[in-house]
Amino acid sequence: MAMGVTLLIWASFFISLRASSQSALTIGDIALLRFLPAALVFGWLALPKAKKIKQTPKRYLLAIALGAGLPFLLLAANGLRLAPVADGASLIPGILPLFVTSIAAICYRERISSMRKAGIMLIFFGICLFLATSLLSGSSQIATGHALLLMASFSWAWFTIAMRVSGLTPIEGGAVLSLSACTCLPVLYLLGLVDFNLLNAPSSEIAFHFIIQGIAAGLIANFTFGYAISRLGAEMSAALGSFTPVLAALIAVPMFAESLNMNTVLAMMLIVLGAISASEIITTKKVAIKVG
């Protein structure tokens, strides 16, 4: 149930980022709407656990802060300004199981089952089909967008692994990533890397992105995804996240008049099938038959 809620919010998250490219809001505005409410709520709730958070290995805290915090949002937002919603929703959560499983196998020596290996291969072929389509089309803009989206997915993979091994609760992890993002935003502004236009944007756009980014993605999804990781594990949670592109693409077709060509549909099918296999939702069990 937690992952079901997360999938619906993630699909809305990609729609919101794509819509921001056609609005008066800047990426800095989106980041502020995304992380400030979470920082206030999670920061207050996690205050009694401040000592526990400080004692957490710094490499885990850094992976959480960078993996799902401001760097992730900047990569995803800029990537979706260059590539269609279906591509972004497929590449970020779609390739996530590949990155998560690779990190778990290489860094933590986890064994990978045959079914999970088959799923990872299907996801890999799906991603290759996406990249081949953008390269053959000759669109450097889409190719650049795909590269940014892959970097965002790799960033999110480190967050997924770090949340599992750190021992932090979803609320504590949410406090780490949101507070770090709010701390970095002024620094990036002073460096001229982000700007703000919140005061000049229409109130309807602010309300829309505040609900999707600040409340849904920033608060609810951070908790539900963290909860799912604690119950299902990082690999299965990441694999189930690969169903996001189907929802996002269906919404994007009428909302942004985006078309789904055959290559995109085939790539999405490979990724979803790979996710089902990699999550090991369908497993074969040996049944003992008693005779006599």
Position 282 pLDDT exceeds 70: no
CA 197 to chain centroid: 25
Rounded CA separation 140/205 (Å)? 30
Residues of the chain with pLDDT > 70, as a percent, come to 92
Rounded CA separation 128/270 (Å)? 10
DSSP letter string, 79-142? HHTTS-HHHHHHHHHHSHHHHHHHHHHHHH-----HHHHHHHHHHHHHHHHHHHHHHHTT-HHH
Give the sign of the dihedral formed by CA 160, CA 98, CA 268, CA 84. Answer: positive
- The whole-number pLDDT of residue 279 equals 64
Give the sign of the dihedral formed by CA 191, CA 44, CA 57, CA 157. Answer: negative
Residue showing tokens 């992380």: 35
Confirm if 125 and 270 have CB atoms less than 8 A apart: yes
How many CB atoms are located within 10 Å of the residue 261 CB? 11
Question: What's the token pair of residue 234?
Answer: 């990082």
DSSP letter string, 2-14? HHHHHHHHHHHHH
Each residue's pLDDT tens digit, 106-121: 776 777 778 878 888 8
Question: What's the token pair of residue 233?
Answer: 């594990």
Position 136 pLDDT exceeds 80: no
DSSP state of 280: T
Position 102 pLDDT exceeds 90: no
CA 95 to chain centroid: 10
Rounded CA separation 129/161 (Å)? 27
Confirm if 34 and 211 have CB atoms less than 8 A apart: no
Rounded CA separation 140/162 (Å)? 33
Rounded CA separation 237/232 (Å)? 6
Rounded CA separation 41/292 (Å)? 63
Average of per-residue pLDDT across 19-45? 89
Each residue's pLDDT tens digit, 234-278: 767 777 777 777 778 777 777 777 677 788 788 888 877 887 777
- The whole-number pLDDT of residue 285 equals 44
Query: % helix / strand / coil in the chain, to the nearest 5?
Result: 80, 0, 20
How many CB atoms are located within 10 Å of the residue 266 CB? 15
188 falls in which pLDDT band (50, 70, 90)? very high
- Output 131 or 65, whichever has higher pLDDT: 65
> CB within 8 A of 278, min separation 6: which ones?
97, 101, 115, 116, 119, 120, 123, 235, 239, 242
Residue showing tokens 């269609």: 84
